[in-house]
């Protein structure tokens, strides 16, 4: 509601800007001064750039208030004429047809009555002053008595003038009727008149509201509950329904083919619990989408409790069943006891029962000590885009909350998180294990991988985007649907394929069941062989480390002997007299020295080339030679073999100066030479 008090030239500029700012229409009510000429907005004005049509659009529906300037009744006034007669006389005196161009024309009756008011007040003052022996002509600005007499007379003056009943307040304001007009379809329409003296309102019921009703005097705030999109809700419920139907088909398949080997050796009872858990989780999708659109506020806490119980127990049934399988498989592959050759069903159910009991304990304590309640999250007000009404929406979002919600979530998430990580570890450890009694352990491990990945992603993200109802519902629902479909698919699709591709033959399934014991023995033997294989691998690794260590020592000794050889050559030459006599022939094996080398010794006559010398009969037949016995001695001049006490390689041979016999003598200093 905007009240504007300005002259008509400024009014044109104000409403031009109001048009540009869209400050008009059903949400706005303008009140301005009513004594403008009726066509004031049509006057050409260079100080604004709006058209007459734009100003009319912005002015539509505004109200004006002004004093009643012309008496509305045809009665004779106290000034000796009617209002109509006054208007006629005034127009005759002005001698014009367009009175809108005359400044002050609408206020002429007020000016006329103002003069009469002064006359009536002076008449009263003259009478009052005459009683005191005073005259009005004695007035000056320092004579308070005459001043007070004039004020009192003016204050008490009342008469019916051309502008209506004329009277003044103690402050000198004119007391007159107030006229209310409204700008409708380009013209002003008189709506009513208010008499302040008599406190009487005369209303003609001619007003028109742009919105069909009076606008509120304040911005209405409407609570707006944010709910899941219907399209998204029904889509997810449809997918969940398909998943539940698929789960029912899996249960029927399990029962119908319970005697088939592929089903009987997969622990079908545990698989049934996995399917039931998936179906419970899929059913929770419907509960996750139920909000204030479907359930009243007092029922919402019950929905919260049911959600928590079903989602937690459904997850434990589905994932816990797979975990119990993979746990049992891991136990069988790590134990060596004979009695572990068989999978006992009670072991699987025991593991699952423990997990369910933990869930029941935590959920019971939560519900008793700190039950979930309905909590509203309030968001900032928003302006609706599809209405012009003066309203604002206060968005609200429902949450399931409790006083210590983070503590309870931490307990549940922590316990199930450890379970997920442990299951991931067991699945990885048993990735290559094949047990005939749990023939789907590999697919169970793959299901665990998928569940862990999806849960690790979904849990934190759902907490982060908790104030976005559509995103949260879609994300959690898709995670449940993917986990359920992947788990049921990985566990049952291979079995369905096996049943279709290999229909049962007479006695075949019975034979396979009777052969199960043999299969268990083979599995036990296989596990023992795997353990022995691992032990042998460790021993081989230790031997390889020992060989590397010995090779390093040999290389070190060879380097030391190479250094000592240079010194030994000189020593052997000076001490030749002490060498034992020997008639052994020495044959040099050095591929690096050509046959035409000047100082190369003669080869055995049967040697065709450097490399074939080692095939000489004399060398072949000798395994160990004593230098005291005449025989053939082979000396490798190319490398220090380390087999003799003193061995001379290529370097020592090249550096030695002297005859061939000297080198033979040096070589003959070995006490024992091993070929």
Q: pLDDT, tens digit, for every residue of 118-167?
A: 999 999 999 999 988 899 888 888 888 999 999 999 999 999 999 888 88
pLDDT of 663 reads 41
Please state whether beta strands 178-184 and 672-674 pair in parallel, antiparallel, or not at all (unpaired): unpaired
Is 649 a residue whose pLDDT tops 60? Answer: no
Beta carbons within 8 Å of 108's beta carbon, 6+ residues apart: 90
d(C-alpha 277, C-alpha 484), whole Å: 9
Neighbouring-strand partners of residue 400: 374
Please give the pLDDT value at position 609: 42
Does the pLDDT of residue 359 top 60, yes or no?
A: yes
For residues 587 and 633, what is the distance between their CA atoms, to the nearest angstrom?
6
Q: How many CB atoms lie within 10 A of CB 639?
A: 14
Flag whether pLDDT at 634 surpasses 60: no
Helix (H, G, I), strand (E, B) or coil at 240: helix
Using only the alpha carbons of the chain, give its radius of gyration. Answer: 58
CB-CB contact of 82 with 74 (8 Å): yes
Summarize the confidence of residues 32-53 as an average pLDDT. 90
Separation of alpha carbons 119 and 84, rounded Å: 22
Q: Round to whole Å and give the CA distance between 640 and 646.
A: 9
Cα 221 from Cα 380, distance rounded (Å): 11
CB atoms within 10 A of CB 407: 12
Q: Spell out the CATH class of 229-363+417-509.
A: mainly alpha
CA distances, 571 to each of 74, 140, 267 (Å): 162, 159, 85
CA distance 354 to 333: 22
Cα 62 versus chain centre, distance: 50
CATH of domain 1-68+177-215: 3.40.50.2300
CA-wise closest residue to 469 among 174, 233, 256, 267 = 233
Between 568 and 434, whose confidence is greater? 434
What is the C-alpha separation between 265 and 513, in angstroms, rounded? 9
Three state DSSP letters for 254-311: HHHCCCCHHHHCCCHHHHHHHHHHHHHHHHHHHHHHCCCCCCCHHHHHHHHHHHHHHH
What's residue 26's pLDDT? 84
Pinpoint the residues of the chain covered by CATH 1.20.1070.10.
Answer: 229-363+417-509
| Predicted local confidence at residue 342, as pLDDT | 58
Of the two residues 584 and 202, the one the predictor is more confident about is 202
What contacts 199, CB < 8 A, 6 or more positions away?
none
Confidence band for 276, pLDDT divided at 50, 70 and 90: very high
Q: Answer yes or no: is pLDDT of 81 > 90.
A: yes
Continuous H helices in 575-611: none
- Which positions ≥6 away from 182 have C-beta within 8 Å? 61, 62, 63, 64, 188, 189, 191, 206, 207, 208
Question: What pLDDT is attached to residue 358?
Answer: 92
Per the confidence metrics, is the pTM higher than 0.85? no
Phi, psi of 271 (to 5 degrees): -60, -35
C-alpha of 447 from chain center = 24
Residues 6+ apart with CB under 8 A from 392: 219, 220, 221, 222, 381, 382, 383, 384
The reported pLDDT for the residue numbered 261 is: 74
- Phi then psi for residue 222, to 5 deg, are -110, 130
Which 8-state DSSP code applies to residue 567?
Answer: H
| Tally of CB atoms within 10 A around 194 | 16
What's the burial of 324, exposed, middle or buried (CB within 10 Å: 0-12/13-18/19+)?
buried
Q: Which of 99-103, 279-283, 450-454, 618-622 has the highest mean pLDDT?
A: 279-283
Q: How many residues does the chain have?
A: 675
Does the structure show a pLDDT above 80 at 94? yes
Top pLDDT among 612 and 425 is at 425
pLDDT at 246: 93
Say how far apart CA 349 and CA 525 lie, in whole Å: 27
Q: Where are the alpha helices (DSSP H) in 335-404?
A: 345-369
H or E element at residue 225: strand 220-225
Among 346-350, 494-498, 628-632, the range scoring the smallest mean pLDDT is: 628-632
At residue 635, does pLDDT exceed 60? no
Q: Is the pLDDT of residue 169 over 90?
A: no
Q: How far lies 138's CA from each of 123, 131, 157, in Å?
A: 15, 14, 22
| Residue 221 to residue 383: CA distance in whole angstroms | 10
pLDDT at site 440: 64
CA angle 616, 589, 671 (to 5 degrees): 90
Residue 489's pLDDT band, with cuts at 50, 70 and 90, is confident
The answer to whether 12 and 44 are in contact (CB under 8 A) is no
Q: What is the pLDDT of residues 404-429, one digit of tens each?
A: 988 998 898 888 888 888 888 887 87
603: DSSP letter: P
CB 356 within 8 A of CB 318: no
Tell me which residue of 448, 442, 440 sits closest to 420, measured CA to CA: 448
Contact present, 451 and 315 (Cβ < 8 Å): no
pLDDT at 490: 85
299, 674, 285, 325: which is closest to 487 by C-alpha?
325
Average pLDDT, the chain: 78
Give the integer Cα–Cα distance in Å for 446 and 431: 9
- In 421-546, DSSP assigns E strands to none
Please give the average per-residue pLDDT across 62-75, as a whole number.
88
Q: How many Cα atoms are found within 13 Å in the side-chain-facing hemisphere of 562?
A: 14
CATH 3.40.50.2300-classified regions of the chain: 1-68+177-215
- What proportion of the chain, given as a percentage, has pLDDT over 70? 76
What band does 493 get if pLDDT is binned at 50, 70 and 90? confident
What sign has the CA pseudo-torsion 149, 154, 158, 159?
positive
What angle (nearest 5°) sits at the alpha carbon of residue 294, between those of residues 291 and 299? 70
């Amino acid at each position: 509601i905007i009240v504007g008090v300005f002259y008509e030239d400024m009014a044109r500029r104000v409403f031009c800007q109001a048009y540009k700012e869209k400050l008009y229409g059903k949400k706005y009510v303008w009140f301005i001064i009513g004594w403008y000429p009726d066509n004031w907005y049509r006057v050409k004005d260079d100080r604004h750039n709006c058209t007459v049509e734009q100003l009319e659009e912005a002015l539509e529906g505004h109200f004006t208030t002004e004093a009643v300037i012309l008496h509305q009744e045809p009665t004779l006034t106290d000034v000796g004429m009617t209002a109509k007669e006054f208007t006629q006389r005034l127009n005759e005196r002005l001698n014009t047809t367009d009175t809108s161009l005359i400044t002050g024309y609408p206020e002429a009756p007020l000016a006329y009555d103002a003069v009469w008011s002064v006359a009536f007040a002076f008449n009263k003052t003259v009478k009052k002053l005459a009683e005191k022996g005073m005259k009005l002509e004695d007035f000056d600005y320092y004579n308070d008595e005459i001043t007070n007499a004039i004020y009192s007379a003016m204050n008490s003056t009342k008469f019916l003038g051309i502008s209506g009943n004329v009277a003044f307040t103690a402050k000198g304001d004119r007391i007159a009727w107030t006229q209310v007009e409204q700008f409708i379809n380009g013209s002003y329409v008189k709506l009513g008149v208010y008499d302040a003296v008599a406190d009487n309102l005369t209303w003609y019921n001619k007003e028109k509201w742009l919105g069909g009703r009076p606008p509120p005097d304040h911005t209405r705030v409407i609570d707006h509950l944010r709910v899941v999109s219907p399209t998204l809700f029904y889509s997810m419920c449809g997918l969940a329904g398909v998943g539940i139907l698929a789960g029912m088909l899996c249960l029927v398949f399990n029962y119908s083919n319970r005697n088939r080997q592929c089903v009987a050796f997969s622990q079908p009872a545990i698989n049934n619990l996995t399917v039931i858990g998936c179906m419970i989780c899929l059913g929770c999708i419907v509960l996750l989408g139920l909000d204030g659109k479907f359930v009243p506020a007092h029922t919402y806490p019950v929905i919260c409790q049911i959600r928590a119980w079903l989602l937690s127990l459904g997850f434990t049934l589905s994932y816990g069943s797979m975990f119990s399988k993979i746990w049992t498989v891991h136990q069988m592959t790590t134990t060596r006891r004979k009695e572990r050759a068989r999978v006992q069903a009670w072991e699987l159910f025991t593991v699952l029962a423990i997990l369910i009991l933990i869930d029941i304990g935590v959920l019971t304590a939560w519900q008793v000590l700190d039950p979930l309640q309905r909590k509203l999250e309030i968001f900032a007000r928003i302006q609706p885009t599809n209405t012009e009404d003066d309203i604002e929406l206060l968005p609200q979002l429902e949450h399931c909350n409790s006083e210590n919600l983070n503590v309870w979530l931490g307990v549940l998430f922590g316990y199930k998180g450890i379970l997920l990580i442990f299951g991931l570890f067991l699945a990885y450890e048993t990735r290559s294990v094949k047990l005939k009694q749990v023939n789907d352990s590999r697919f169970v491990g793959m299901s665990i991988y998928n569940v862990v990945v999806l849960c690790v992603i979904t849990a934190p993200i759902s907490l982060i985007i908790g104030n976005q109802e559509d995103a949260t519902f879609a994300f959690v629902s898709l995670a449940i649907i993917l986990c359920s479909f992947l788990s049921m698919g990985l566990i049952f699709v291979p079995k369905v394929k096996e049943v279709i591709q290999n229909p049962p033959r007479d006695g075949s399934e019975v034979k396979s069941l009777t052969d199960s014991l043999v299969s268990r023995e083979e599995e036990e033997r296989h596990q023992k062989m795997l353990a022995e294989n691992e032990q042998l691998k460790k021993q081989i690794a230790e031997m390889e480390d020992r060989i590397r260590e010995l090779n390093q020592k040999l290389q070190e000794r060879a380097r030391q002997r190479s250094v000592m050889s240079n010194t030994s050559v000189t020593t052997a030459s000076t001490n030749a007299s002490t060498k034992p006599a020997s008639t052994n022939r020495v044959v040099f094996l050095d591929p690096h020295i050509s046959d035409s080398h000047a100082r190369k010794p003669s080869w055995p006559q049967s040697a065709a080339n450097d490399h074939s010398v080692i095939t000489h009969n004399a060398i072949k037949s000798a395994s160990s030679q004593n230098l005291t016995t005449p025989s053939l001695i082979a000396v490798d001049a190319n490398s220090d073999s380390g087999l003799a006490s003193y061995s001379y390689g290529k370097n020592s041979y090249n550096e030695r100066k002297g005859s061939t016999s000297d080198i033979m003598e040096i070589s003959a200093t070995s006490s024992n030479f091993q070929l």
